[in-house]
Amino acid sequence: MQTEDIWKIWSRIQHNNYFLASETTDETSDKTSDKTSDKILEMITNNPDITAIQISKVIGITPRAVEMQLSQLKKSGKLRRVGGKKEGHWEALE
59 HSE (CA, 13 A, CB side):
27
Q: Which of 26-30, 54-58, 80-84, 85-89 has the lowest mean pLDDT?
A: 26-30
Coil, helix or strand for 90? strand
Q: What's the pLDDT band for 10 if we cut at 50, 70, 90?
A: low
Q: What is the pTM of this model?
A: 0.65
* Helix 3-46 with 63-75: angle, nearest 10 deg: 80
Write out the H or E segment, with its range, that includes residue 20: helix 3-46
Q: In whole angstroms, what is the distance from residue 10 CA to residue 3 CA?
A: 10
Q: What's the pLDDT band for 15 if we cut at 50, 70, 90?
A: low
End-to-end CA distance of the chain: 62
pLDDT digits (tens, 9 = 90+) for 42-51: 999 999 999 9
Tell me the domains of the chain and their CATH numbers. 3-92 (1.10.10.10)
pLDDT digits (tens, 9 = 90+) for 23-79: 555 555 555 678 899 999 999 999 999 999 999 999 999 999 999 999 999 999 999
Coil, helix or strand for 62? coil
